[in-house]
């Protein structure tokens, strides 16, 4: 199958203010949604974080799993610079346990397998075609016990009023990211359906911010 990739979005212009903007709008919810389910993850030896942004998630991950080895993939140069500063503040051992890779996940391959792959608000900026491909490739990147920690926006299982409200807010968020970062999406895909169609089973779920922010652990079905 031939896939033509669009240019990835470019978060460089908002990288320095990304944390502040996130805190203003979501308070602690955006970052807490990324750690909510870590107690349900079995001590991963290797973790792949994709689209990790400014790297705020890295020390939080080490808080839960001090001995893990992290590969952190990010396409924005400015985000990478901030993430490197974040890593430089870690204890020496954990600095050497962290590998930062500047690149586009659509075209990367990995020589090792991971016990945990984290997509922290990444899939909402990818096309449905790209998501399907990444979910298929992720199966080959995971160890046999491995799982994906998916964290993203979600508009299902809400009452009509809430759903309508958050659809508008999601549209405005996409408009903001279109203007600042060339994100081309206009509506949120149904990620859960895409995981099910790709052969994953949900293991544990948590929602916050009126259910709009959803974290879910998915494991590939054994074939």
Near ligand SAM by CB under 6 A: residue from 62, 121, 191, 218: 121
- The one among 71, 74, 86, 115 contacting ligand SAM by CB under 6 A: 74
Q: Does 134 bind ligand SAM (CB under 6 A)?
A: no
Is residue 104 within the footprint of ligand SAM (CB under 6 A)?
Answer: yes
By CB under 6 A, tell whether 70 contacts ligand SAM.
no
Task: Please choose, from the candidates 193, 179, 188, the residue with its C-alpha nearest in 3D space to the C-alpha of residue 127.
Answer: 188
What backbone phi and psi angles, to 5 degrees, belong to 35? -115, -10
Distance CA 74, CA 185 (A): 19
Work out which of 41, 47, 48, 79 binds ligand SAM, going by CB under 6 A: 79
User: In angstroms, rounded to a whole number, what is the distance separating the alpha carbons of residues 69 and 97?
Assistant: 5
- Nearest distance from C-beta of residue 11 to ligand SAM, angstroms: 4
The stretch among 89-97, 120-128, 184-192, 193-201 that binds ligand SAM (CB under 6 A) is 120-128
- How many alpha carbons fall within 13 Å on the CB side of residue 97? 19
Q: Quick one: which of 32, 35, 106, 127 contacts ligand SAM (CB under 6 A)?
A: 106
In the bound state with ligand SAM, the residue whose beta carbon lies nearer, of 65 and 144, is 65
- Cα separation, 71 vs 152, in Å, equals 20
The answer to whether the beta carbons of residues 68 and 58 sit under 8 Å apart is no
Q: Helices 57-64 & 77-88, crossing angle to 10 degrees?
A: 40
Q: What are the residues binding ligand SAM (CB under 6 A)?
A: 8-9, 11, 22, 50-53, 73-76, 79, 104-106, 120-122, 125
């Amino acid at each position: 199958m031939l896939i033509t990739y669009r240019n990835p979005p470019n978060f460089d212009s908002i990288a320095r203010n990304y944390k502040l903007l996130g805190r203003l709008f979501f308070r602690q919810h955006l970052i807490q949604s990324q750690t909510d389910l870590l107690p349900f993850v079995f001590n991963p030896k290797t973790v792949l974080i994709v689209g990790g942004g400014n790297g705020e998630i890295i020390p939080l991950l080490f808080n839960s799993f001090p001995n893990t080895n992290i590969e952190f993939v990010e396409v924005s140069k400015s985000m990478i610079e901030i993430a490197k500063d974040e890593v430089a503040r870690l204890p020496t051992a954990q600095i050497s346990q962290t590998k930062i890779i500047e690149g586009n996940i659509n075209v990367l391959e990995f020589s090792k397998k991971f016990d945990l792959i984290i997509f922290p608000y990444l899939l909402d900026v990818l096309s449905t075609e790209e998501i399907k491909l990444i979910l298929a490739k992720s199966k080959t990147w995971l160890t046999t016990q491995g799982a994906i920690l998916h964290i993203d926006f979600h508009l299902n299982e809400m009452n009509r009023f809430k759903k309508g409200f958050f659809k508008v807010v999601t549209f405005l968020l996409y408009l903001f990211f279109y203007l600042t970062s060339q994100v081309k999406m206009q509506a949120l895909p149904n990620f859960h359906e895409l995981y099910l169609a790709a052969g994953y089973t949900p293991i544990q779920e948590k929602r916050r911010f009126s259910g709009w922010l959803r974290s879910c652990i998915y494991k590939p079905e054994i074939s």
